[in-house]
Amino acid sequence: MTAPAPAVIRPLAAVHLRDALTAAADHRPAAALAALMHIDPESWTAIEQRTALLGTDLIDLLAHATRGDAA
């Protein structure tokens, strides 16, 4: 049996995610939310999978960006 292909983050979704994290870091929650709402469902699934592999989730990433913690 073949494993299903992992979900793919489309390039435009990656841009929207970057914009959301940047907006969160700049303390612009409305802009962060707007950027996240532009992410397509397949890319959203892929983002959730990737963040889970890192032991976190998108909410934690946004919070981390908002605090301005060093990486």
Look up tokens 């995610």; give the residue: 17
Sign of CA dihedral 5, 11, 14, 16: negative
Residue 68 DSSP code: T
pLDDT digit string, tens, across residues 4-55? 777 899 999 999 999 999 999 999 999 999 999 999 999 999 999 999 999 9
Per-residue confidence at 2, pLDDT binned at 50, 70, 90? confident
Confidence at residue 69, expressed as pLDDT on a 0 to 100 scale: 57
